Chains A and B, each alone.
Chain A
């Protein structure tokens, strides 16, 4: 074959290829067609498009604890209680599967119990695991089964280690199963007494008002025994069944219609759903005109949800710009093109009708200081100096675009006991830090013999950002004249070091609220929670703090409790077992056709309240995705020129 033929053929091939691809590429819509064209009543079928960073690891309600899993399971699995979508200051619980909040009864010896009543007529999703594939009614025995699963060692419920201290019979059942190797599901958990078809009582070993928050988590959500037994991951009659952890059967407003690993999860509305309706009040009066028309409407308000898995954050922004995502969080990458210096949405996006939201998570991030370290532990002034040397505002500017709130105390805003006007006495102040360091016995970072003080900073390392962060952190402390050696650890190794106490300063610690109660933060410095028992990685051990904690932990919110909390807060501020960094805040955007309804951080997306205007979306998408033709001409021209040049060169050779 001559070289001409090759060139001619490949040109032909390329042309055919180009035509084919332009034909195939007529739409840049990345999604499969919706499940239906129209709803049952002829209205347009409404699909919401969202993003997930990875596949959820487990959707077993008794196991799921990571943020991705919680977001996927919330629309599928309802809990006994739920957070009111609008009442966030303070947070308020309301009945979901339960008719109302449980009734608290105090028995003999001060023992408390909660009396609960399930709503009647709530059905599980239609699923092959039930006879005829029809979902059956939820009854109190399903809650008993859920509590049994909490105690089953094979299930690995992360809530067990907390709940077994409070709910009767959990730890006995767990120990018995560990000994025999098999959990005995014929024996009920003594702390969960089924008193009727729809009623049950939870018996506690000690006062624990926070139990109500646990009832708003999937751990305690009722589970159908049929589903767990049916989805065993084995082959039956030639058909391979899923594992239960990948096939939740709940009562929620949606059920999972398709889960393509590494690609997407699609949810479709549950036709049996009638547990809850849109709330009739409780919102900010300013939103009255927006929300009042929705009041009392049957939930959910959209028909389908498609969550796409994005492993890199850059494509999320690309798809949002094209209108193929209904909402997105504003990451570092996209920040400066979206947000103006005055923390406002940039004009370009305002014109598009995009709305900007700012949310603060009930979380606190800090660096842990090891109180058992021979250098840091006994030297309170040194810890104070380190804390005062750290320029938190600049840190947040560089690494978080200045969005988060500088943490002044352990408790984040919105948690009872958080004081708005409290200032960390050892916040950033370099002069003070230098003075404190001198008082600590290390003037200019040198000890009495003139030797430079050397500290070790453990970070979890790897990405470019973490690396820059470590360089920044190192520089903060070295401003004092001492030297800091940075050790970059894989995340798991850092966790291990925190548990073993083999560190001096550990970066990247933080705690997000499991439930909005000060106890959920203050227990981090309770001496009985020093590892291996709990998560007091700083190994803070103060009898005074412990005594206050014992008093405060199970108290009702109120002035008395706030008083105790503020005393504990003052102790932590003076003892500095940590360098406080921030309460995480995020900017997020919503498209004009999908205004955001609720932003309660205790909900994981609250998809059942989401709304959508599909016609407006289609119109804008067409407007935003025009295809110019000049690049094709350019490409063809370059190709032609190259071919001509090639042939010329050949002829002249």
Chain B
């Protein structure tokens, strides 16, 4: 087990390197460093100011490998930045000069406060609903439910946000329509509405997914055997289907756990929650390469962490699986 984990982690090194190289290539294919300087300095910047900006941030270095005579080959943009990232030094934003470690540290908590409750509550609700649907096994209810689910799925999140915000925060005046403030329990009043919207917008897809999962389990041979033996359907459902479906569920859940920290772009923008949801997107738009690079770096580590956790969970939930 231990040596398996170690080997997995070693396998991650080339993956992270590949991810960073890909990010680098994608980014600079889209934006020349010069275009980036233009965007940051605004439409009034003179070409001279652009040149100065590039020089101060090292973007006038060769991109991948330094071929200028009498300079070391590794004195290039990519290699010098990789060396920095390898020591977990995230650097600072190209646009504001703010240290990125601080940016991520400050944004993580608001994002988690939004996504973790929404994720957990959404999970409970969708698993509950899916079990209920599987349980009643009624063609009409099934049809109506799948109609509703697809309807929930095909309304864009934006529409939920705009209407939800308008109704609850404006017509009923229960919660603030906007804003965020970390202050013990009263933080909740800023979060309830976005959390509710996040649950509703994800419910349709999740219920369908879990329903399919449980149905598949229901079709397994051992369930037929249990049924044939005359075990009651409630016991079959809770004791067998749910329990065994749980293994698949866990792997799905665990794999998506690390991404909770990434927050939600739309909800954070509309409700003024200072999380990480818009960090990467804004950085691509701005563009701010330092931020893109740092968030991709952290994001890929999180993703790989999720993979590892899934493996471990599999082994833990199903003793037949051995990690080797």
Chain A interfacial residues counted at CB < 8 A: 71
Total count of chain B residues near the partner, CB < 8 A: 71
Q: Known contacts A57-B96, A161-B46; is A30 also within 8 Å of B177 by CB?
A: yes
**Stretch with Cβ within 8 A of A (4 or more), from B69-77, B145-153, B187-195:** B187-195
B165→A315 contact, CB < 8 A: yes
Which residue of A21, A65, A492, A628 is within 8 Å of B31 (Cβ)? A492
Q: How far is the CB of B173 from chain A (nearest CB, A)?
A: 5
Judge whether A591 is part of the interface by a CB distance below 8 angstroms. Answer: no
Contact A58 B56 (CB under 8 A): no
Specify which chain A residues have a CB less than 8 angstroms from the CB of B40 in the assembled complex: 57
- Chain B residues whose C-beta falls within 8 Å of the C-beta of A312 in the assembled complex: 269-270
Q: Which of A151-165 contact B (CB under 8 A)?
A: 153-154, 156, 158, 160-161
The interface-forming segment of B178-186, B210-218, B249-257 is: B178-186
Asked if A78 is an interface residue, CB under 8 A from chain B, the answer is no
Bound CA span A51–B99, Å: 25
Chain A-chain B contacts (Cβ-Cβ < 8 Å), number: 177
A261 to B186, CA, bound (A): 20
Cβ A322 vs Cβ B173 within 8 A: yes
**Which residues of the partner chain A approach B124 to less than 8 Å between Cβ atoms?**
10
- In the bound assembly, the distance between CA atoms of A300 and B132 in angstroms comes to 64
Least distance between A73 CB and chain B CB atoms (Å): 14
Q: Mark B133-159, 1 if CB is under 8 A from A, else 0.
A: 001101001000000000000000000
Cross-chain contact A246 with B176 (CB below 8 angstroms): no
- Complex alpha-carbon distance, A495 and B136, angstroms: 61
Are A318 and B185 neighbours in the complex by a CB distance under 8 Å?
A: no
Q: Judging by beta carbons under 8 Å apart, are A499 and B38 in contact?
A: yes
Q: Please pick, from B99, B179, B270, the residue contacting A314 in the complex, using a CB distance under 8 A.
A: B270
Closest to A17 in B: B192
| B278-291 to A contact mask, C-beta < 8 Å, 1/0 | 10000000010000
Q: Measured between C-beta atoms, what is the minimum distance from B97 to chain A in Å? A: 6
In the bound complex, CA of A57 to CA of B94 (Å): 10
A180 on the B face (CB < 8 A): no
Task: Please report the C-alpha to C-alpha distance between residue A314 and residue B170 in the assembled complex, in whole angstroms.
Answer: 12
**A-contact bits for B37-51, CB 8 A (1 contact / 0 none):** 011111111111100
Q: Which one of A263, A311, A511 contacts B278 once the chains associate, using CB atoms below 8 Å? A: A311
B35 contact from A22, A492, A531, Cβ within 8 A: A492
B189 touches A315 (CB 8 A): no
B80 within 8 A of A: no
Contact call A28/B34, Cβ cutoff below 8 A: no
Name the A residues within 8 Å of B307 (CB-CB): none
In the complex, chain B residues 45-83 whose Cβ is within 8 Å of any chain A Cβ: 45-49, 52-53, 55-56
Check if A153 sits within 8 Å of B32, measured CB to CB.
Answer: no
Q: A495 and B238 in contact (CB under 8 A), knowing A24-B188, A535-B46?
A: no
Contact present for A28 and B176 (CB under 8 Å):
yes
- Bitwise interface map of B from 253 to 276 toward A, beta carbon under 8 Å scored 1, else 0: 000000000000000011110110
Q: Check B173–A158 contact: CB distance below 8 A.
A: no
Docked CA distance A647–B107 (Å) = 43
* Chain A 578-603: CB-based contact to B (< 8 A → 1; otherwise 0): 00000000000000000000000000
Q: What is the CB-to-nearest-CB distance from A548 to chain B, in angstroms, rounded to a whole number? A: 23
A161 interface neighbour in B39, B48, B186, Cβ under 8 Å: B48
A493 touches B (CB below 8 Å): yes
Docked Cα-Cα span, A650 to B47, in Å, equals: 73
* Chain B residues, CB < 8 A from A154: 56
Question: Which residues on the B side are within 8 Å of A308 (C-beta)?
Answer: 178-179, 272
Contact A491 B39 (CB under 8 A): yes
A233: nearest chain-B partner, CB-CB: B99
CA distance A311 to B169 in the complex (A): 18
State whether A28 touches B39 (Cβ < 8 A). no
Given A21-B189, A156-B56, A312-B269: A495 and B173 within 8 A (CB)?
no
- Bound CA–CA A113/B54 (angstroms): 34
Residues 7 to 29 of chain A near chain B (Cβ within 8 Å): 10, 20-22, 24-25, 27-29
Indicate if the CB atoms of B132 and A31 lie closer than 8 Å.
no
Please, which residue of chain A has its CB at the minimum distance from the CB of B190?
Answer: A30
Quick one: which of B121-137 are within 8 Å of A by CB? 124, 128, 132, 135-136
Residues of A within 8 A of B136 (CB): 649-650, 653
Residues of A within 8 A of B171 (CB): 628
- Quick check: B181 and A32 within 8 Å, CB to CB? yes
The reply to whether B169 and A318 contact each other, CB–CB distance below 8 Å, is yes
How would residues 45 to 57 of chain A score, 1 for a CB under 8 Å from any chain B CB and 0 otherwise? 0000000000101
Residue A468 at the chain B interface, CB threshold 8 Å = no
B22 within 8 A of A: no
17 contacts between A and B (CB under 8 A): A21-B192, A24-B188, A28-B175, A30-B179, A65-B44, A156-B53, A161-B46, A243-B98, A261-B274, A309-B272, A314-B270, A509-B43, A532-B47, A532-B48, A626-B173, A628-B171, A653-B135
Task: Rank and list the top 6 A-B pairs by shortest CB-CB distance, nearest first.
Answer: A30-B179, A262-B274, A492-B39, A532-B47, A30-B176, A492-B35
Residues of B bordering A, CB below 8 Å: 30-32, 34-36, 38-49, 52-53, 55-56, 95-99, 103, 106-107, 124, 128, 132, 135-136, 138, 141, 162, 165-166, 169-181, 183, 185-186, 188-190, 192, 233-234, 238, 269-272, 274-275, 278, 287
Starting from the known contacts A3-B135, A30-B177, 20 additional A-B residue pairs (CB-CB under 8 Å) come to: A2-B234, A25-B192, A27-B189, A30-B176, A32-B181, A58-B97, A156-B49, A161-B46, A308-B272, A310-B272, A314-B165, A315-B165, A318-B177, A322-B177, A492-B38, A495-B39, A531-B47, A532-B48, A535-B46, A653-B233
